[in-house]
Structure 1
Amino acid sequence: MRNLLEMTWRDLLFAHWTVPPETVAETLPDGLAVDTFDGDAYLGVVPFVMSDISPRGVPFGLEFGELNLRTYVTVDGRPGVYFYNLDADDRIGVAIARALFQLPYYRAAMDIETRGEGTDREVRFRSRRTSDAPDARFDARYGPDSDFSTPDPGSLPAFLTERYRFYTTDRGGTVYYGDIDHEPWSLAPAWADIETNTLFAANGFDRPGGNPLLYFAAPIAVTADRIRRFAGPE
């Protein structure tokens, strides 16, 4: 894999709700199929901070908050992530990401406060979309609730987090993919007090019922490749 960008992801919360597969299937572009675990599809809300973002070998050091709504898909059997939105607090970063990765990035105003370290970490993450797009707001406090460990292969946490490819499409319906690379996640069961979350409504979903499955991730170094046109099984 060629590395176009290098970065670190930190203060990341995975918040996942189960939904019927058909709820996701009807929203996906042609060529993408719902990926399920024990018959369930998932919608995930993921707030985090991207730091030390730079082209490979160039100490540029861009940093901003990001908030995405995502689900899990396969293309010809290859698993990946499909993003409904990626809101970010950086005008330059949003423009570059839209141009390079064909992803639905939107500009947002974010306020991120942190305190403590390790299992005592606490994050206050507030986001308000400022782009000319459906209003999207998020306001939550969250942090780890136990010790960190690597998900077991084949487990639900691994299904939800160990994804090293995203898929996207252009206006003509052509499917593209982008690969990322990093060490396996180190996750802790998490707590979260989500006061506001309008990401589902902004993307045309009813709010899922039940409580979300929550994991907090330790900081992780990530590399990302450019997108490529999907031409069939590899």
Structure 2
Amino acid sequence: MRTHLLSVRVRDGRFAHWPADPAVVDAHLPAGVGVATYDERAWLGVVAFVMEDIRPRGSRVGRTFPEVNLRTYVTRGEESGVYFFSLDADDRLSVSAARSAVRAPVLPRADGRRPRGRPPQTAERTRPPGRAPRTPERLYGRDDDSFVPEPGSLPAFLTENDRFYARGTCSTRSTRLYRDDIAHEPWRLVPADATVHEESLFRAAGFESPTGEPLVHVAEPLDVTAGSLATAEE
């Protein structure tokens, strides 16, 4: 991994994934990355966390805010990782500071608005209509079923990724593909059920709204470090 520049404790993590046609997902990806599949299916995920005590290396002050993203899984040469279609956070100051610290580009927004408040946990989330990107509104976990994904399994494919890609616009307004590396212990997951009444992240990224029940996992808290964001060619 590149030099550790940021640290954060990730808590209240929720992964909701839907299978998708690889050709459909691949058509939405930028040049330089290709869709990754598991059992010949691509996957689109709505993933929400609380980013707790996020801080640049050496800083004594951290901030906490919720974040939600729409993602898929990709390959670039012999490398694999996550591709973000959107990243939305609830704290403008923290996002600005983090992007400055890692030279991050301005990433695509899901719909130009930010999510409000804490992401959903085990209770129903309520929001004013149209206020924010919609994610699964009910999540029920089963604590006695917690597990660490086995290498090569579908849960590992969907969660155990240490490289991230996103297409962003830098200060020169040229669109580039960026990447970053993270490091953490393996996720401990809990299977969960979700009810989705409405969503907007898929539509904002140009996909049709998902159908069918998602594959859902709730994650136990985890400490994460991130390196320096760079163009994918570096």
How far is 1:107 from its partner?
4.8
Q: For residue 66 of structure 1, what is the amino acid of its counterpart?
A: E
Residues 69 and 157 of structure 1: CA distance in aligned 2, closer, same or farther (over 3 Å): same
1:67 to 1:113, Cα distance in 2 relative to 1, 3 A: closer
Q: Which amino acid aligns with 2:71?
A: R
Q: 2:44–2:72: 8 Å Cα contact kept in structure 1?
A: yes
Whether 2:179 is the aligned partner of 1:182: answer no
Q: Secondary structure at the match of 2:68?
A: strand
> Contact 2:184–2:225 (CA<8 Å) still a contact in 1?
yes
Cα distance between partner residues in 1 of 2:215 and 2:134: 20
TM-score with structure 1 setting the length: 0.85
TM-score between both structures, scaled by the size of structure 2? 0.85
Please say which of residues 194-203 and 216-225 is displaced more in the overlay: 194-203
Give the superposition deviation at 1:185. Answer: 0.6
Alignment-derived partner of residue 54 in structure 2: 53
What's the CA shift string for 1:155-209, capped at 9, x where partnerless? 0000000000111234545432100010001011012233332111111110122
Once residues 119 and 15 of structure 2 are traced to their aligned partners in structure 1, the CA distance between those partners, rounded to angstroms, is 18
SS across alignment from 1:138: coil
- C-alpha distance in 2 between matches for 1:3 and 1:125: 35
Q: Tell me how far apart the structure 1 counterparts of residues 46 and 115 of structure 2 sit (CA, whole Å).
A: 17
| Aligned-residue RMSD, C-alpha | 2.3
Q: Which residue of 2 aligns with 1:164?
A: 162
The gaps in structure 2 that reach 5 residues or longer are: none
Q: Are 1:87 and 2:88 counterparts?
A: yes
Return 5+ residue gaps in structure 1 as ranges: 115-120
Sequence identity (%): 44
Q: Is the CA contact (8 Å cut-off) linking 1:70 and 1:83 kept in structure 2?
A: yes
SS at match of 1:183: coil
Identify which range, 90-99 or 161-170, moves more after superposition: 90-99
- The partner residue of 1:201 within 195, 200, 203 is 203
Report the count of equivalent residues: 222
Matched, 1:212 2:218: no
What corresponds to 1:16 in structure 2? 17
Q: Structure 1 pair 97/30, CA: closer, same or farther in 2 (3 Å)?
A: farther
Structure 2 counterpart SS, 1:195: coil
Farther-moved stretch of structure 1 (150-159 vs 105-114): 105-114
